[in-house]
Structure 1
Amino acid sequence: MDENAVDVVEAAFRHYRSQDRDAALPLYADDFTFTSPQDDRIDRAAFFRRCFPTADRFTEQRLLRVTPAGDGLVFAYYEYALTTGGRYRNVEAITVREGLIREVRVFFGGAV
């Protein structure tokens, strides 16, 4: 189960970077929620409207570590560089159940 969850998370990151919304949508549950320091439990529609189209802000984004934590929870640690300058790292706690992303909680890191 954990391997499948890792595969789903890695695919979601790939589709986000390539902005392949059609490939990404089936990975997210209908009752999906997204939380970050800028968003408080927004739903799937709001996530795909507000957050998904933001990949053009990055010149680079790479997963540093994708770690299963059991019971469908996966931690994704990644680094990115912004088009405006600066390099940063974040962690996402992603819950995957029955092959679908149910929840994402983003924890902003700092400059690298």
Structure 2
Amino acid sequence: MAISIPIFTTQLEKSREATDAANIRSAYATVQASALMQDTQDELTKISTADITYTTSGTEGSLVYKASVTMKQKNDKWQSGAQDIGGVSIAADTTGTTTKAWVTYTQSTGKTTITFGATEP
């Protein structure tokens, strides 16, 4: 019993991290597709889920598409190692216990960023 509980806890945390990575990948893909389709806020509201909220702001030519992903992991840092999401590398020592991951596409620069923090960047 003393051996199995720490193993179970470690596996549970890896499962939370896998969920977080999958949600961030999903948000990344949706933000990219929404930018290509030039979705409106009403369209983004319809596809938001309990864990991922999509928004857009700005005007034509300078639109910003954003997804807020609620993180599930409990331990600090990524226990399962570095993550690569959409060509954006997330270091293993990136704090994962912040409450949100933010995926942002800025139309004027054509760049997508992934950041972590409790508040919107």
Instruction: Specify if TM > 0.5.
Output: no
TM-score normalised according to structure 2 size: 0.35
Higher relative contact order (CA 8 A, sep 6+): 1
User: Comparing both structures, which one devotes a greater share of its residues to strand?
Assistant: 1
TM-score normalised according to structure 1 size: 0.37
